[in-house]
Amino acid sequence: MSFATIIGVIVGFGLFVGAVILSTDNFMVFLNLASFIMVVGGTFAATFTAYEARYVMLSLKGLGSVIFVSKVGRAILTNEVGRVIRWGYIIQKNGLPGLESDAGKIRHQDRFMGFGIDLVVSGYTGQEIREILATTVETTFQRHTVQSDVLRGMASNAPAFGMIGTLVGLIIMLDNMGDDPSKIGPGMAVALITTLYGILFARLILLPAATKVQQREEILRFRNYLVAEGLALLAERKSPRYIQDRMNAYLDPAIHFSIDKMRR
């Protein structure tokens, strides 16, 4: 669970609610079901029209994953370097059968890693593995970032439907203006709430979620390139020390892996 995301959402809505509480005693004026339906319903209608339903549903699942899926930390990169180095020692001692045996569990847990190990065991050269896995990394990244594109599309539609709701409210208000001019103020307030909902929906939910999904996929893409390089080095039978230095070159010096510390 991403506690930073939860805190951000709570603080964002908390600031809005706090401003309302400090500004007025009439809190109910900010609650309007018709405005909510106009914004949310219109946003989903436009999104399902623009994108395949499968991608829209995946994007909605992505909204939940932003909060409930654990963050991807930098430590995972150091762990990947250590794992590949350990496999380097295993290959030195037992050859490729040793790698295949040791990596049996991870091959089922991590499809990308499993595919790369299969390439190594199959006897591909290091350069061939780099090329194949680079294609895999990029196509996977493109597929998974469709979710962030959909969320950004929803974020651009929400304020537009908020404005549409406001225009509808204004038309109705002006139509009734001759009967009772005193209703102009309350009618204007209700009309503007729809725009408020659209902006809040876009800026506090959809755009942050799209950015977080994009960021996580970029981190995973970087991790996959790191793993691909390590597997290619295993195929080239490079020494564990060389594997360490080559993979550490991808990382911030603060999180470099050290064989010397592993041996202690």
- Residue type at 220 in one-letter notation: L
How far, in Å, are 70, 83, 115, 168 from residue 92 at the CA level?
A: 35, 14, 21, 73
Using alpha carbons only, what angle is made at residue 151 by residues 149 and 153, rounded to the nearest 5 degrees?
70
- pLDDT in the model for residue 72: 64
How far is the C-alpha of 144 from the C-alpha of 220, rounded, in Å?
10
Please report, for the chain, the start and end positions of each structural domain, with discontinuous segments joined by +. 1-264
- pLDDT in the model for residue 181: 67
How far is the C-alpha of 76 from the C-alpha of 81, rounded, in Å?
9
Answer for the pair 91, 242: CB distance below 8 angstroms, yes or no.
no
SS3 90: helix
Answer for the pair 216, 140: CB distance below 8 angstroms, yes or no.
no
How far is the C-alpha of 172 from the C-alpha of 32, rounded, in Å?
16
Answer for the pair 10, 20: CB distance below 8 angstroms, yes or no.
no
Across the chain, which has 264 residues, the per-10-residue mean pLDDT values are: 76 86 83 90 95 92 74 80 94 92 85 94 95 97 94 95 90 74 69 91 92 91 96 96 95 89 61
- pLDDT in the model for residue 235: 96
Which of 102, 68, 236, 144 lies closest to 113 in space, CA to CA? 102
How far is the C-alpha of 66 from the C-alpha of 3, rounded, in Å?
10
Length of the chain: 264
Which of 69, 81, 201 lies closest to 144 in space, CA to CA? 69
- pLDDT in the model for residue 83: 93
How far is the C-alpha of 137 from the C-alpha of 156, rounded, in Å?
29
- pLDDT in the model for residue 131: 97
Max intra-chain CA distance, the chain: 92
How far is the C-alpha of 110 from the C-alpha of 224, rounded, in Å?
11
**Tokens (6 digits) for 49:** 């029209």
Burial of 18 (0-12, 13-18, 19+ CB in 10 A): exposed
- pLDDT in the model for residue 31: 87
- pLDDT in the model for residue 182: 66
